[in-house]
Chains A and B, each alone.
Chain A
Amino acid sequence: KAGVTQTPRYLIKTRGQQVTLSCSPISGHRSVSWYQQTPGQGLQFLFEYFSETQRNKGNFPGRFSGRQFSNSRSEMNVSTLELGDSALYLCASLPSGLAPDTQYFGPGTRLTVL
């Protein structure tokens, strides 16, 4: 099976712009979670989607949003970018989360905000 894929791998934006990141989970996995990784704050949970519904949400401002499609692919959007949004954004997929499952991570999207 192919692993979790994320596109694009690298992105450079300027302050005030918006950005959309994409994540394709492992085939058959229905849950997708997003994490932000920065040197200062470490790995922080953004949100999780399961069957096109947000099931969990972290403590991030409303500028961060996401969605999931019927094929389980997920996108996250950040509007009005700030310098502090520069980070590695990781997504992870789970089969369903109904049983004790393991999350598998993608390679991440490196976002740089200038």
Chain B
Amino acid sequence: AQSVTQLDSQVPVFEEAPVELRCNYSSSVSVYLFWYVQYPNQGLQLLLKYLSGSTLVKGINGFEAEFNKSQTSFHLRKPSVHISDTAEYFCAVRETDSWGKLQFGAGTQVVVTP
């Protein structure tokens, strides 16, 4: 069975500072990896994804993530955050043969202050 662990439940950060959100997963088969963001009272918006190829993936709004197969990690980073980045961030894993079934981490709440 697969599992996804987001190591921080909440990350406070000052505006224009960098942020890293950590995600580790376990799976016995190959996986696809995703980061989604959720703003209050909204659905999930895709930030970026790793399907294959380069392990460094770039997403929207200046976010990037690196897939590390040996450490089974997929950490999300942004070099300089804005107030508007305040939201909840979810790491998700989909096994390559599980079609539309995503397994989510518990989420990391990012709070950006001036």
Contact = CB atoms under 8 A, between A and B. Distances in A.
B99 A31 contact: yes
Interface in B71-108: 90, 96, 98-107
A106 interface: yes
B99 A42 contact: no
Interface residues of B, number: 23
A102 B49 contact: yes
Contacts of A102: 34, 46, 49
A51 to B, nearest CB: 11
B36 A105 contact: yes
A44 B105 CA distance: 10
A33 interface: yes
Contacts of A103: 34, 46, 100, 102
B102 A45 contact: yes
Interface residues of A, number: 26
Interface string B57-75: 0000000000000000000
B17 interface: no
A21 interface: no
B103 A42 contact: no
Contacts of B52: 100
Contact of A90 (B43, B49, B106): B43
A108 B43 contact: yes
B103 A100 contact: no
Interface of B: 32, 34, 36, 42-46, 49, 51-52, 90, 96, 98-107
Interface of A: 4, 31-33, 35, 42-45, 48, 50, 55-56, 58, 90, 92, 94, 97, 100, 102-108
Given A43-B107, A48-B99, A102-B49, 6 more contacts: A45-B103, A55-B99, A90-B43, A100-B96, A103-B46, A107-B43
